[in-house]
Structure 1
Amino acid sequence: MLESLDEDFCSALEYRLTRIFRESDQKEIRSLWCDGISPGIETNDNPIDSRRIRTKAWIGKDGQEEFSMTILLGEEAIVKFLNGGSLIDSIPREETKDWMDIDTEGRTVTVQLN
């Protein structure tokens, strides 16, 4: 299952987030970028039961501030996760922007996969 949260997925999500930030209507978010997502799952987190993955991301004007990240697993993503498949295709398309929520003060980011 952890194969799903591999370097390729983390890189794809990192780049997609940076594009979403850049195209944001909110000025304070446009200057942000994501410089990495940890492929590790926080301890005491059971993605199968909770349908989410908790990990860390590095986001900020310099991309170096540590954020708590929650990746919510939709139907497509949970099936892929259970089978050890790639989650890359579960990242919403670039045209949609409502699948990501960021709190810069609380340093949290939540994404909803398909």
Structure 2
Amino acid sequence: MCRFYPDKKVDAYTSFIFFKKYTSFINIEKGVYQDESNQHRFFFEIPKQIEFNQFKKGMEQIKNNCDYHLFDSFLVFLFYKNKIKDFIGIYSQHCDKSRFGELKQEIKKHFD
């Protein structure tokens, strides 16, 4: 049975989205991969697991202090064989792959 409820004020809240997906990577350069099934999604390997708040703060600093503005970012924990690999993922239809070295350095600076 479907029931509609009257409008009601709801307090602001934060939620996390857990998304389980199987994908194949194309290795673009050391530590940088592209999603084989989505040409606009890229993954930058980071050396250790980070908390979401650290990820959010670091990505805000990268976006605000560089001219890397045209992308959305996400945090990735990838289960690979017997270990977990950690990545910063980006999605952009405006990526300039020739600048990935610069972006990789910024990510390294904030998340090493």
Name the TM tier (shorter chain): 0.3 to 0.5
Structure (1 or 2) with the greater strand fraction: 2
Give TM-score, length-normalised by structure 1: 0.33
Task: Give the number of the structure whose residues are more often helix, by fraction.
Answer: 1
